[in-house]
């Protein structure tokens, strides 16, 4: 079994929990995900099965879309609602939509982020959350991320009693972006503590929520031998031109040989009898096409 399953992940489940459950449902070990979702975040989690695990890097490199909430007035050690409060400031009046829009705009484009201590980023072979849980301080690496869009949705909510303001937002961002940190930086721009108070991944790897299936529905479909939830691997390469191999060319591809093809595209999707065989990339020096990713799917 080879293919891609966009899962609508529930909250309180880790991404590893989802993978483990799908392994049991499908009775196969070769299952992985492309892009972790924290337990308190729901939405699109792309799961790859069989030879589709070879395209997880392509899926992870694609942009993602999230919708969520930023609450101004307090911050936590984890940058979301799971951690203890470490700073607070009662807001006397809410920030205006104009002030919020200016702040959103200031955090678009190429920006530098420092990942949160409670994250899986590794430093000297250990994950940051392992340092955090043991109370150790460690220098965190900066990373450049791309924020394509970051804007407010609807009106913000001001809680006069608690002195907090909550803003709904949507963000389109690159791989490696920590939306929790984006929320905290949003507050810093306004001079107040802030926290990510809600988050849903709306889109990832070219799949959005409308493409997803829940684990319960997946289990039912498998019981009924309905595998319509499985997207073919070539879905990832929908922008590539397909080249249909001859039997002689197939034999060369199976041996990893380079090909001389009368094509002008930098990348090609190679098929034989409508079955995906490989992605080949043109070598700029020789003008030959060389293997980039091998699949060799059989009938």
* pLDDT at residue 44, rounded to an integer: 96
Residue pLDDT, tens place only, 114-166: 777 666 667 777 776 777 777 777 777 788 999 999 999 999 999 999 999 99
CATH class of the region 240-294: mainly beta
Provide CB contacts within 8 A for 2, sequence distance 6+: 49, 50, 51, 52, 233, 295, 297
- Active-site residue flag, 38: yes
Say what the pLDDT of residue 298 is: 79
CA distance 2 to 16: 19
pLDDT for 111: 92
As a whole number of angstroms, the distance between CA 55 and CA 162 comes to 47
Q: What's the pTM value of the predicted model, to 2 decimals?
A: 0.89
Q: Which of 38, 42, 185, 198 is catalytic?
A: 38
Q: What single string gives the DSSP state of each residue in 136-159?
A: ---PPPPEEEEEEEEEE-S--EEE
Q: Which of 58, 169, 179 is nearest to 119 (CA)?
A: 179
pLDDT tens for residues 159-185? 999 999 999 999 999 988 999 999 999
pLDDT given for residue 90 in this prediction: 96
Q: Calculate the average pLDDT of the chain.
A: 92
Q: In the beta sheet, which residues pair with residue 207?
A: 204
pLDDT, residue 299, reads: 65
Q: Is 3.30.2350.10 the CATH classification of the domain at 64-204?
A: yes
Q: Where in the chain is CATH 2.30.130.10? A: 240-294
pLDDT of residue 204 exceeding 90? yes
CATH topology of domain 3-61+206-233: Pseudouridine synthase (3.30.2350)
Which tokens sit at 210? Answer: 């409308």
Can you state the angle between helices 15-26 and 215-223, rounded to 10 degrees? 10
Q: What is the pLDDT of residues 25-80, one digit of tens each?
A: 999 999 999 888 889 999 999 999 999 999 988 888 888 999 999 999 999 998 99
CA distance linking residue 285 with residue 252, whole number of Å = 20
Pair 150, 179: CB distance under 8 Å: no
CB 35 within 8 A of CB 175: yes
């Amino acid at each position: 079994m080879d293919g891609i399953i966009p899962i609508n992940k529930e909250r309180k489940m880790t991404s590893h929990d989802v993978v483990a459950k799908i392994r049991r449902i499908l009775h196969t070990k070769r299952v992985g995900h492309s892009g972790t979702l924290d337990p308190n975040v729901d939405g699109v989690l792309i799961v790859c099965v069989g030879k589709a695990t070879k395209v997880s890097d392509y899926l992870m490199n694609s942009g993602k879309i999230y919708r969520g909430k930023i609450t101004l007035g307090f911050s936590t050690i984890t940058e979301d609602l799971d951690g203890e409060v470490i700073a607070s400031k009662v807001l006397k009046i809410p920030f205006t939509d104009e002030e919020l829009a200016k702040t959103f705009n200031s955090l678009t484009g190429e920006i530098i982020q420092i990942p949160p201590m409670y994250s899986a980023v590794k430093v000297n072979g250990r994950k940051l959350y392992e340092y955090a849980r043991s109370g150790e301080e460690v220098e965190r690496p900066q990373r450049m991320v791309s924020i394509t869009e970051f804007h407010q949705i609807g009106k913000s909510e001001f809680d006069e009693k608690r002195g907090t303001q909550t803003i709904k937002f949507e963000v389109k961002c690159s791989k490696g972006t920590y939306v929790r940190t984006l929320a905290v930086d949003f507050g810093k721009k306004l001079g107040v503590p802030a926290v990510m108070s809600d988050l849903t991944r709306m889109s990832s790897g070219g799949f959005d929520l409308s493409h997803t299936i829940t684990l319960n529905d997946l289990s039912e479909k498998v019981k009924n031998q309905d595998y319509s939830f499985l997207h073919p691997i070539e879905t990832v390469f929908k922008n590539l031109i397909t080249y249909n191999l001859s039997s002689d060319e197939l034999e060369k591809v199976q041996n990893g040989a380079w090909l001389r093809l009368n094509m002008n595209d930098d990348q090609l999707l190679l098929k034989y009898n409508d079955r995906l065989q490989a992605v080949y990339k043109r070598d700029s020096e020789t003008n030959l096409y060389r293997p980039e990713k091998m699949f060799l799917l059989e009938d």
